[in-house]
Structure 1
Amino acid sequence: MSCWDDEERAALLALLRARPENMTWSRIASDVADEGSARAVLERCGVPTLFEVDPSGFHDTKSEVESAKEEIAAWRSAEFDFITFRDHEYPKQLREVNQFPPFVFVRGTLVPGENAVSVVGSRDASKWALDTAADISAGLVGAGFTVLSGLASGIDTAAHNAALENGGRTVAVLGNGIRRVYPAANRELQERIVREGMVLSQFWPDSPPAKHTFPMRNATMSAYGIATIVVEAGEHSGARIQARTAVEHGRPVILLDSVARGTDWGAALRGQPGVFVADGPRAVVSTAERLVSGKQQVEQLLVTTSS
């Protein structure tokens, strides 16, 4: 995968902004990946690359590409990094799944190939669940994992805080733009994660949180991590979406026994390939360690076979 120049980056942004023929972002990214060039797709789709005539007849409407170039130039001096899926820095684990984000914005330190495990669950969590999430995060840190979560209230907040308090690394995947903070109460936590870990967003920098952005965020968390742990979740929780998406991605899912027994969706997932049930923090961490050990053995076998 080659590192793009700003002409290609601008062409990609122009495509995403214009969405020719109502193409989804995933379809655009897929077409660009197949073509190997955003500019080629841009030209094929007929998105204006110079100037277009505005309704009043004046030729002063800036092209999508020129606007994108200006945005990219401004982002160079911002406090975040802009990375497209064709850049070397783009997390390779995101490219392993369908519907990967065409770009990400990052604050903090990006660690290539890290073993991150999602710890997710209800915003309105019980005290037991908050304590359990904290214990799981502490155990994951002790086992050398990065704790991954979505910076939401409840389970996410407990997971991030426990990772930091135990001297570990944590990554927050946002459901809003990188310049935004949601919820507002987590402003200080978000800044601490920037200093000691990483914050990642797949949305335009000033985008507010919205109903449709959180399922997209959950899919990205599933892809970024090597496994998803669901601590506590209701029938309509976003954690349910992430668990189902992780199964589609071929990523392992670890459900607390109370989730597997106490929800219809948890019961439906139980027994599916790659879905594990654990009865407490120690069992969860032990399962995660076995999963990463098995993954490393498979990778080593592939290397040996191909050499």
Structure 2
Amino acid sequence: MTYREIDYLDKIEKLQEVYPMSAAMAEAIGVSRRSLLNWRDRPESIKTEHRFNIDVLFCKHFIIPEWDKKGETFTPTLLQDDLSGNDALLMPFLRRLSYGTIEIETGMSKDDFERAVDAKKLPKNMSIETFHEAVNTYLTHKWLWHKCIDRAERFVITEESVKGLHGDFMRGIREDAGFYSQKIRVMGGLDALHTTLPEDIPEEMNRWAYKCSDAATIEAIAKAHAWFIAIHPFGDGNGRVGRALILAQCLNAGLMPPLFDSENRAIYYAAMEHAMVHGRHAPLIRLFHESAIRAR
């Protein structure tokens, strides 16, 4: 049974073991004590954002400790041979990856994503930002596949190539697309983690690229991802760029890239926090492995 199959009232009851005082639990979820009482009578009134917060807390306190096992090894999930050259399989696969990375970061609806990707021009009742976010993400993922698989060229990871990915994702959305942030960045929900100071980003990214450019196992790729997100070099779009780098590293190594979307969003956030705050990567590595199998 996964955390998504457990009833929310059961999750709240279990979380009372961690937060015996209702005020502490309410603060952790981001609601009032009155809301907790109301939910017991009307669980259907729990809003989507609060369901997500409950899921993250549940994963953090009950799933992550079970997954935090040293020395656990996983059999690599190799890239499917039948994807290459088969548009009937490849295009839906790339759309799943593309929408997943947008969904967990922006909450864009699947309908808006599909309309944008299929449109020849800006669809009615859609903002230009939503249009660019969807199209930029899909085309960037498609380009990475074409380069690494169809043309058999490695995506060489350097500071400039990482900036180039950011430019591809954020062009038409942000004026600083393709440039490191010059401001302090805040990582939502991770008060214990301080991102790299703006003046230190170039040096830290240079170190990251030097250390992680040749990551070729799911373990090394997961650790590189946590480090990149901790640096948080851009003003926005760090998640999209970070997950595109996962895709590039997996394609370089012939590995199936993990699929991240609303189905595993909460455990992804919990595992990332565990890795970045505590420096323990076993849960994140397991998540990468399971998400790669799920992507097949």
For the criterion TM > 0.5, the same-fold answer is no
- Structure richer in strand, relative to its length: 1
Shorter-chain TM band: under 0.3
Which is greater in Rg?
1
TM-score normalized with structure 2 length: 0.27
TM-score, normalised relative to structure 1: 0.26
